[in-house]
Amino acid sequence: MSEPSKIDFRHRRIREIEDITDIVAMIFPGNTNQQNAAARILLTLKAAAETVPSLRVLEEQHGISRRTLERTRAKLAHVGLIENIGPLSKRANGHPGWRLSGRMSGAMRLLAEKIDTWKTDTRPERQEKDERLVGMQLS
């Protein structure tokens, strides 16, 4: 059976996560090249004291192809694990480049809160909206 190409976001899989290896395997299932590139990117950014101006150095040091590096970087930025700080950004402090981001972890906490709130929300307007969504009466 082949590995899926989308993020493997099953609750049991999330419980089993222990380190960065498990995280990149979840985000890039079945693609060891992108898993390797993602681990290199994340560990480089974690070790950096400031923003990293370019990730191209990983291409040269570790033999990662430009295409793999760019696709991996794009997906990591899209899911919110890394972010690019522009030179005009106030957050750059004169050091534009790439850094680890808290967007994904913040969004996951917010999602968990929203789910918990929805489960206990019994306001009539919430129930009406739920009824419209499914097109039937809920008790």
Structure confidence by residue, pLDDT tens digits, 33-55: 999 999 999 999 999 988 999 99
The CATH fold assigned to 1-101 is: Arc Repressor Mutant, subunit A (1.10.10)
**Total-model pTM:** 0.80
- Indicate if the pLDDT at residue 94 is higher than 90: no
Q: Contact, 94 vs 85, CB < 8 A?
A: no
- Domain locations along the chain: 1-101, 103-139
> Which percentage of the chain shows pLDDT scores above 90?
55
Q: Contact, 53 vs 97, CB < 8 A?
A: yes
Q: What are phi and psi of 98, to 5 degrees?
A: -100, 145
pLDDT of residue 45: 95
pLDDT single digits (tens) 61-91: 999 999 999 999 999 999 999 999 988 877 7
